[in-house]
Amino acid sequence: MVVNPLFTVVEIVTILTPLETEMILNWTESAYVVVDYEDLLNLNLTSGAALNWTYGTASGNFSEIGTTGTYFAWVNTSFADSGTGVITIRADKDKYQYKSITVTLIVLALPSSLVIESPEAVFEHDRGDPIDVVVHLTDEYNGGIIQSGITSLYMMFETIRYDLTLNGTDYTWYTTLPQSATADLEPGRIYSARIFAETTNYNPASSVFRIDLQATSTIIELFGSTVPKMEVVYNEIITFYLNYTETEAGVTIDNATILWVHSGFTINETFTYNVTSGLWELQFNTSKMAFGTWGIAFYGTPGDPNLGEDIVDLTITVRKIVTEVISPIPESKYWGWAGYVTFFYNDTYFGGGISNATATYQWGTFSGSAIDHGNGSYSIFVNTTFLETGIRYPIIISFNKENYEVSSGGISLYIEDVPTEINLYTPIDNLNR
């Protein structure tokens, strides 16, 4: 009898592993991206592969560090706007499985400053006289005046908006507060004019000047865990704390309206005064925002007409919920074994398993969706009769769910020959002869 064995030759299974799956950088900085290209058949790093990347409007190639199978590239964040983006990395080599991964970049918008050249920060002013206003924007990270990308620059005074105009010679912006703006105002007060600027790839900037008509100014200050730069996780419940005082005697203002303004989202939130702590508080669920870095402002108006308004700014970065894959211990099985291999998709920030995720697997020539047990556990059915003995096979699983980080895991399964033995025996009839 002639046996004709059938062989299926497949490309060697590979995996790309980045040194960092997520990086936080300022816009215009370059990300140093390092990845290992691993051969899962021989469990070693693979040299001589072609790796390339794409990010935003740009693409490029990786360079190998010697012949180590480790590759690196510099990717400048200015190829895309600030916010959350991904670098797509692809690896290819003859006889090896094509592989691609992504590295998440959280690109922070650069700090900017709105400098009022004229008028002074606080000045006495006769009611009904016009006021000339001249400002410019500066890049607080790289230095210098911001000359382009300014999408909006306007002044708010007594609920009326005044747009500023660009002077293309020295890149200053100017407008005039007309006589009518102050003609009907009550004297004996300080009136605030707030100037706002929004610029692509820069945090919103604002500045204020006050017209002294003998009123008392106020100040809103961030307090406690509420800081100028905050980092939070999506769906996290946080509390903002503000201290609101009038500046002359430092008395706490307990009768006011403090609103959430200028965040880029349709958010209508109002602070509440806590009589015990003497602070203004706002509990907020970050799911009302999106991933990325955002500039927000809180605007306060005292109930006492003799007190002026004030505004405070901060920057908040919202990240996806951090996850991990908990894999079973690698093991060996005899050829012919069939059963389940179970992985656990874990929420490492809030704690507990993550159900209802998209869980895709690959082992041998098979791929599909894992069985979701509803508690974070996901099982893959493996039948070793489709595998060859003496080989260690990788079992890879990848998880994806909205608002959660993408995570992958895997184990190696070694297939052993089935043990056999030969038993010899002599028939009893032969012994009697």
- 322-433 to CATH, choices 3.40.50.620, 2.60.40.10, 3.10.20.30, 3.40.50.2000: 2.60.40.10
For the record, the structure tokens of 385 come out as 């009769």
Q: How far apart are CA 157 and CA 191, in angstroms?
A: 8
**10-107 matches 112-319 in fold:** yes
- 10-107 to CATH, choices 3.30.160.250, 3.90.226.10, 3.40.50.1970, 2.60.40.10: 2.60.40.10
Tell me how far the alpha carbon of residue 196 is from its chain's centroid. 25
Alpha-helix residue ranges (DSSP H) falling in 165-294: 179-183
Domain boundaries, the chain: 10-107, 112-319, 322-433
Q: What is the CATH number of domain 112-319?
A: 2.60.40.10
Residue 423 per-residue DSSP state = -
Global model pTM greater than 0.75: no
DSSP β-bridge partners for residue 393: 413
Three-state DSSP class for 127? coil
Q: How far apart are CA 71 and CA 37, in angstroms?
A: 8
Q: Are strands 172-177 and 205-213 parallel, antiparallel or unpaired?
A: unpaired
Place of tokens 């870095």: 293
Q: Using alpha carbons, select from 339, 413, 324 the residue that is nearest to residue 376.
A: 324
The reported pLDDT for the residue numbered 186 is 82
The reported pLDDT for the residue numbered 189 is 80
For the record, the structure tokens of 221 come out as 């200050």
315 neighbors 227 (Cβ within 8 angstroms): no
pLDDT along the chain (433 residues), means of 10: 64 89 94 94 90 95 96 96 94 91 94 94 83 95 92 94 94 93 80 94 93 77 95 92 86 94 80 96 91 90 82 92 92 93 94 94 94 96 93 94 91 90 68 54
